[in-house]
Structure 1
Amino acid sequence: MGGGAAVGLLVAWGLWPREYEANLRAAPGETPFNAFLKIARDGRVTVAVPQAEIGQGVYTSLPQILADELGADWRTVGVEPAPINPLYANQLLAEETIAGGLPSAFEGIGRWATQEYATRTALMLTGGSSSIRAFEPRLREAGAAARTLLLQAAAKRFGVDWQTLDTAGGMVTGGPRPIRFADIAGEAVDFTVPDDIPVRGGVDNRLVGQPLPRLDLPAKVDGSAQFAGDIRLHGMVYAAVRAGPIGDSRLAGVDRDAADKVSGVFAIFEHERWAAAAATNWWAANRAVEALAPAFTTPNPLADDARIERALTDALKAGDAAHSIARGEPDAVLESGDRYRAVYSAGVAANAPMEPLTATARFTGDRLEIWAPTQAPGLARAAAARAAGIGEGRVTLYPTLIGSGYGRKLETAAIEQAAVIAGHLKRPVQLTWSRVEETMQDSFRPPAAAEMVARMEGGRLMGWRARIAAPSAASQAIGRLTGRGGSGREAEGAAVDGAIPPYDVEALAVHHLPADTGLATGIWRSAAHSYTAFFTESFIDELARKAGMEPLSFRMQMLSGNPRLARCLSTAAAIGGWDGGTAGSALGLAAHSAWGSHVALLVEIAMRPDKRIKVNRAVAAVDCGRVINPEIVRQLVEGGIVYGIGGATGSPISFSAGLPSARGFGDLGLPLLADTPEITVEIVESEEDPGGVTELSVPVVAPAIANAFHALTGRRLRRLPLAA
């Protein structure tokens, strides 16, 4: 089919922020077409990806979108991280920040103003399962625009109308002979992109929807992929650091004499917030930090279990909520009949990434270079500049591949510390946090507690109220990232994300009650959804039992307004062999809608001899709209299930004197490879817009396990992590 036979992209292309020039660097022989695409004389097609690769596959799925619209040969497609530029701003995530009521620079300024702010500040962010949702339209437009230029160049050579030509497999087709993109790329950029850009038509030779191999895997398998810890610079030294207990801790003193005795030590640093050592190798630097035995003073009370519990309890007892979402008349409905009430809670959860925080810094004159894994390159660059006391224009940041840590790599502490140390030493420094430091200073998922109240009539929900006490973790994380601070005591919608049940309830209310726990909390994979879905889906299961109804049927009767989730539920139940969740069945269900997607999960559990819960089988059904790469979707859902199992059944983390009880992986009780259940993922076909998947399956794991535990034992577990 010729290009002119398809629908145009007039509006979207016309709204591109053209006042910003692309700064995509071209190597010799490469021709840039726009901010996202370069084509080389040797046939290589390079796509600039504005999102961080954390293992979620954006270095494949995003190029796949552009390459599909371009008509490229997948074997020739490569990827590189996009430079910091307003053209790569994640406007969608900024908009959703406003919708969540997050107190930040965005609050109250409106959708258009938010887009402008995000664009003008080059707000490049990876998070919120937003990569596909935010950049699918722009990448399609970039591919389609470049395709029209190639068609025009080929048409001039052939003396035909360019709209009669097509592309496939890296060739312009439909003329007297196929012609390679590489042979006309240099000529093509001299043509003009039409206002009405035709998209590719037909279903043949398409890349979207295909399980194409991941572009990042070969280098990761053969070891050539470069992570932050792989950076090696001439004259580089290695550094380790130790900070104080969580809170306003200040360095009081160190044992320099003991550290100086460690072989290989190059320098000792005393910062007001931390102590560090630099050495000829990292092992020596870390031994020196331990020998320093830094002492800290903290003027304010330190976090401990009693304070955390008291903060949540006091917040729940508070009268008026600081942030509320309501529809109908929940107070009147809930006061007019018998109510059912339950209290749930969730402890902190560690990010525990395989790769701890790390950064390499080098000063050349008055210019600073930073190599680091980051989900927010522009803000990370700004943090480095603040720490070094120089302007942002003097800082160059090279984002590296990220070794896990959804949300953890928003943190910039290691980047700031590396910049300070490199500035003092006047030589390159690679700082890597130890596993102990990473665990103790983790930006934990916040603890939370919920009072759930509902009224039923004839087996149907009539009213619903959720009062959720939790620190404002998103506010804290953004405060650290921007250098503006954040106490965690401000009300925010982000703290109750996912708390609105996906069921037909005419009268409902969701309240956030900020709790000052004294912890430094942050963004965990799926953020607040990880505990709000646990509260909601566990309570729904309780209500079904109270109504004397089978849990699947109870849910299905309330999903007339959410047919996509209903289909996921029925699919997971059918494939998983749902038996009604009768006593002793060991099966549990949970469902959730978020990030434009829908998921249902059935799990089968068993009890270990040590009384811990083991998940033997998990069946997930997912509707995430149009699928870009089904294999990546399955990988993300499977990974999210395993991640969720770790959060649901791992060891609880306690706090004393501002420090967590955990010191490493062994203290977290995470599932091992041998503990991984048999996982089945069914992708429900859909032509809806693509939704987010990276975090989608995490929230449903804990409630599904808790509901299965109730079916097996008759006991209801209302606290995370789940302990039999």
Structure 2
Amino acid sequence: MTANPKARIKLDRRTLLIGGGVGAGLVVAWAVWPRTYLPNLTASPGESLYGAWLKIGTDGHVTVAVPQAEMGQGVFTAMPQIVADELGADWKMVGVEPAPLNPLYANPLAAATLFELALGSMPEQLQRTFAARTGLMLTGCSTSIRYFEDQLRHAGAAARVLLCKAAARRWNTDWQACGTANGFVVHGNQRLPFGQLAAEAADEEAPDPVPLRTGDDNRLYGQPLPRLDTPAKVDGSANFAADIRLPNMVYASIRQGPVGTTELVRVDRAAADKIPGMLKVVTTRDWVAAVANNWWAADRAIEAMRPRFKVPDPVINDDSIEEALGKAFDGEGARIAQAGDLAAEFRGAKIIFAEYRVGLALHAALEPMTCTASFADGKLALWLPTQAPGLARRAAALAAGIGEGRVTVHPMMGGGSFGAKLEHDVAAQAALLAKEIGRPVQLTWPRGEDFRHDRYRPAAAGRLSAKLNERGQIAGWLAKIAAPETGRELARRLLGGDPVIAASLALPGNGDPSAIAGATPPYAIANYAIDHHPADYGIPTGYWRGGAHSYTAFFTESFIDELAHVAGIDAVAFRMAMLGQQPRLARCLQTAAQLGGWQGGTPGSGQGVACHSFRGSHIAVMAEAHLTGDRKIQVDRLVAAVDCGRVVNPELVAQQIEGGLIFGMAAALGASTGFTENVADAREIADLALPTLADAPDVTVEIIRSGSDTGGASELAVPAVAPAIANALQAATGVRFRRLPLLSDAE
């Protein structure tokens, strides 16, 4: 290391301070836990460290530590771009590396969103403290830029100030008269490259507070800069988990039992031994793995063994799921949100009612669950794509029977996730295999296993009721939603017995706010109520791109269209009349309608709209769709207008919106599975009826310029797509489709 440790601590003082007192009911030991944490970013020869976020080399290169998993969403570009902008760096000299596990990089915003039920009773400052002390480095819920932007800006600004101070000493001038641009410190006609100043600048001390850049000159923020990870992905040099190769490494495939309480009862080891390349069979109560000198042999051996598991009880089928959702409505439910006096408004009134259902949705990422593990000298190393490296480390340490401090996690870029790689079963399994075999092992779940043991987006049902007044406006609204308590389940599964979480989950009350997230309409409705009816149908569920918004938006925006039809009002005008207090969303809706050439949703037009507010951002989608002669849905066009506040990189936002539109379209048309005797019916990608390139619609995305705070983008487009398509089909056919995937019912 070439940097002065004292300077590093002072440099990052504002991010090192993890404040917060000890709240009542928390473990007393928290009182003696540290309030500050030191960076553990390492410098290579010729590099100087600048706190926890960046380092600068003598050749002028700038490397930014990114604490978020790159799953294709662009954090390896957007986050360095924020630092580079404040630093005044040359983008061609900027690189990136995954940040090490450290409480400094905890993401309490993602933690509070994912584990809302468990953490919601804590004050915000206590949530931040908990996330830091438990090392919750999390990627998810469109929080990367929303949470880390300020820290990244100050990290870049602090490094800029130190470079200016070092240059000012050489020039014998005031550092505040110096500036930076394109990798140089400048003062009038004088210029010095970052590389020549890096080592001595690291010994300077930054002021508190650090001044941020002002003005629009030489700014990288808001520019469509090229992605830093594109060249390596194009030429094949980017390493994913499946690319890891270690000396003496072997490969493993796995088979787990059906959903429910089950256990392995029989395998045909002799059949496995006949497969060329087969090395060993490893069994536990819950699964069997075949280890071979190549993955194909391992997977063939699993098939040859014909594993048999104890039949779980109760039996889970499509009918049992439907029955559980229906029964969930029998009780009172938990009132999660309300306004006005709905009971009085509904009393004696003519009520309009509709029921909607959505099926289980799979993540179906291109890259299945995979992890490479090496166990030697009592230490474990893991290479895997993970959205929660600390949780993966904890699970692997527990499986291997060692302390977490003896486990090193190497986060890899992921070939998609959509929430799936928050889960860490594969890390625990790979750790156990590596310890058992005594050689490095790369475990990859077969595609069928990835589908059978996905943590699905839950199946859910919505019963919506409303009253229209004499002017055709919504006077009362009731949404009763049956869905599993996925937030509670996620907290129990991922946070694994933490006493604070256990205490939070044990608090009295029922209902799960995260299970009905997004169900409160964005419209001006004086009297409304949102109820959650917990449903338990025995299938593990988890976080899926957009969370509950992916089905609550379908319920809400489909029902809004039905009410507009009853009122005899154009669907866009009907919405606009209720968006007076939501100007950003209203502008999105107007823009999408204008760009799409909205024709009023007249019968035969095949046009539908939907809008949604999500993670501090707003979107409206107009869809054009029709049914083909062989009764297939053809989506011809999708137009989206987006307001996500300040935009770091408009190209990244456009990519995420375009990808989200197609992802949401896939979920509207397929990406689901039924269940037969506790086993998912979908086994291969071909079973999901995903849209192909030939099915792709014409896509238009308009990003509305906004000075509002940065909002989320990676999930934003998903919720509004399905209802927009359903509304378009109603205009095209006169038939209302109330189930996802569309056409999966008998209507």
Q: Is the 8 A contact 1:323 1:492 kept in 2?
A: no
Indicate whether 1:622 and 2:639 are aligned: no
Question: Separation in 1 of the partners of 2:284 and 2:327?
Answer: 36
Deviation for aligned residue 1:338: 1.9
**CA distance in structure 2 between the aligned counterparts of 1:269 and 1:138, rounded to whole angstroms:** 46
What are the superposed Cα offsets for residues 359-397 of structure 1, whole Å, 9 maximum, x if unpaired? 000011100000001000111100100111111001000
Counterpart pick for 1:379 among 382, 388, 391: 391
Is 1:709–2:729 an aligned residue pair? yes
Is 1:58 paired with 2:75? yes
> What CA distance in whole angstroms lies between the structure 1 residues aligned with 2:556 and 2:429?
41
The 1-side partners of 2:112 and 2:178 are apart by: 39
CA contact (8 A) 2:461 2:482 kept: yes
CA contact (8 A) 1:249 1:296 kept: yes
Equivalent position amino acid for 1:80 in 2? E
Q: Secondary structure at the match of 1:628?
A: coil
State the shift of 1:620 in Å: 0.3
Residue 687 to residue 107, structure 1, CA distance change in 2 (3 Å):
closer
* Map of 2:738 onto structure 1: 718
Q: Equivalents in 1 of 2:626, 2:458: separation in Å?
A: 29
Q: 2:587 aligns with which of 567, 571, 575?
A: 567
| 1:4 alignment partner in structure 2 | none
Query: Secondary structure, in 3 states, of the residue corresponding to 1:569?
Result: helix
Match of 1:369 in 2: 381
In 2, Cα distance between the equivalents of 1:672 and 1:475? 36
Counterparts of 1:679-694 in structure 2, within 5 Å, are 679-694=699-714
The offset of 1:470, in angstroms, is 0.5
Structure 2 counterpart of 1:188: 201
- Matched-pair contact (CA < 8 Å) for 2:362–2:671: no
SS at match of 1:144: helix
Aligned residues of 1:472 and 1:490 also touching (Cα < 8 A): no
Alignment partner for residue 588 of structure 1, among 608, 612, 616?
Answer: 608
Q: TM-score, normalised by structure 1?
A: 0.96
Contact 2:524/2:578 (<8 A) preserved: yes
Q: Does 1:142 align with 2:159?
A: no
2:657 corresponds to which of 618, 631, 637? 637
What is the distance in 1 between the residues matched to 2:597 and 2:578?
22
Q: Which amino acid aligns with 2:656?
A: L
Aligned position for 1:85: 102
1:352 to 349, 360, 364: 364
Whether the 8 Å CA contact 1:357–1:409 is kept in 2: the answer is yes
Structure 1 distance, partners of 2:15, 2:282, is 52
Residues 525-544 of structure 1 aligned to structure 2 (within 5 Å): 525-544=545-564
Alignment equivalent of 2:85, drawn from 52, 63, 68? 68
1:271 paired residue number: 284
Structure 1 residue 181 displacement after superposition: 1.0
Percent identical residues: 53
- State how 1:98-109 maps to structure 2 within 5 Å: 100=116, 102=117, 104=118, 106-109=119-122
Name the CA distance, whole Å, in 1 between partners of 2:497 and 2:260: 16
Q: Is the 8 A contact 1:475 1:490 kept in 2?
A: no
Q: Is the 8 A contact 1:383 1:482 kept in 2?
A: no
What SS does structure 1 have at the residue aligned with 2:145?
helix
Q: Distance in 2 between matches of 1:652 and 1:173?
A: 57
String of CA shifts for 1:64-100, please: whole Å, max 9, x gaps: 01110111000000000000101101021233356x4
Determine which of 479, 486, 498 is the counterpart of 2:492. 479
Change (3 A) 1:433 1:299: closer
Aligned to 1:284: 297
> Corresponding residue for 1:3?
none
TM-aligned CA deviation for residue 477 of structure 1:
2.9
Partner Cα separation in structure 2 for residue 169 and residue 16 of structure 1 = 33
Q: Distance in 2 between matches of 1:668 and 1:346?
A: 15
TM-superposed deviation, 1:298: 4.1
Query: Are 2:332 and 1:315 aligned?
Result: no
Structure 1, gaps ≥5 residues long = 1-8
Residue 155 of structure 2 aligns to which amino acid in structure 1?
Answer: A
Cα deviation code 1:620-659 (max 9, x no counterpart): 0000000100011110000001111110011652111111
Aligned partner of 1:352: which letter? Answer: A
User: For 1:22, which of 14, 20, 39 is the aligned residue?
Assistant: 39
Question: 1:163 — aligned with what?
Answer: 176
Q: Which residue of 2 aligns with 1:253?
A: 266
After TM superposition, the structure 1 stretch with the greater mean CA deviation from structure 2, 162-171 or 561-570, is 162-171
Provide the residue aligned with 1:548 in structure 2: 568
- Tell whether the 8 Å contact from 2:370 to 2:443 is kept in structure 1 after alignment: yes
User: What are the ranges of 5 or more consecutive residues in structure 2 without an aligned counterpart?
Assistant: 1-10, 20-34
Partner Cα distance (1:219, 1:675) in 2: 29
Contact kept, 8 Å, 2:249 with 2:441, in 1: the verdict is yes
Structure 1: how far apart are the matches of 2:688 and 2:490?
A: 23
Secondary structure of the equivalent of 2:223? coil
TM normalised by structure 2 equals 0.93
Q: 1:179 is paired with a residue of what secondary structure? A: strand
Structure 2: distance between partners of 1:674 and 1:158: 62
Quote the offset at 1:429 in angstroms. 0.3
> How far 1:476 sits from its partner (Å)?
2.4
Match of 2:7 in 1: none
Q: Deviations over 1:133-185 (max 9, x none)?
A: 01111100111111111111111111111111111101111245111111111
Asked if the contact 1:158/1:176 (under 8 Å) is kept, the reply is no
Name 1:296's counterpart in structure 2.
Answer: 309
Shift of 1:411: 1.2
Distance 1:288 1:180, change over 3 A: same
2:465 to 453, 465, 490: 453
SS at 1:601 equivalent: strand
Note the C-alpha offset of 1:281. Answer: 0.4
Contact kept in structure 2, 1:10 and 1:196, CA below 8 Å:
no
**Residue of structure 1 in register with 2:31 after alignment:** none
> Which has the larger displacement, 68-77 or 296-305?
296-305
Q: Could you tell me how far apart the structure 1 residues matched to 2:735 and 2:480 are?
A: 23
